[in-house]
Structure 1
Amino acid sequence: MQINNNKNLTEANKAKEDAKRDFLRITNYLRLNNKRYSITLGKYKTLEEAQHSLKIIKKTYPNATLISNQKD
């Protein structure tokens, strides 16, 4: 699940720290892809699990979206 997509590393790091504070039990990741920093949350085994989390996360991050094929 992506909550932020940014060109600026400083802003991306801040978004990552905010997500860590907002969702203590969900692992977050900072990835560089095509010269943009993406902040993603969690690893989900099923689409239903991801959709349930998305509803909760959208309350804090309204632009959150599900993304497929997340890789470490």
Structure 2
Amino acid sequence: DLYNDIASVYVENFVNLANDGFYTNSPWHRVIQGFVIQGGTNADGKQADQFDDVFHPNMIHDSAGILSMA
């Protein structure tokens, strides 16, 4: 689930980046087993656009497979 109703700008951005190949050959910056994997800079070093923070109290990161953007 991408929760477009809560974070539509982020969902649209993530889907567009994925469809455009942004994450292809993207390095992982930090991997901590059982906690977090961080990445997001593509092969040519360009970073994604910046967006305002979105917080929703019902969006709890309490299980594997939860995706966040920072």
The structure with the larger Rg is 2
Return the structure number with greater helix share.
1
Q: TM-score, normalised by structure 2?
A: 0.29
Higher strand share goes to which structure?
A: 1
- TM-score, normalisation: structure 1: 0.28
**Relative contact order, higher structure (CA 8 A, sep 6+):** 1
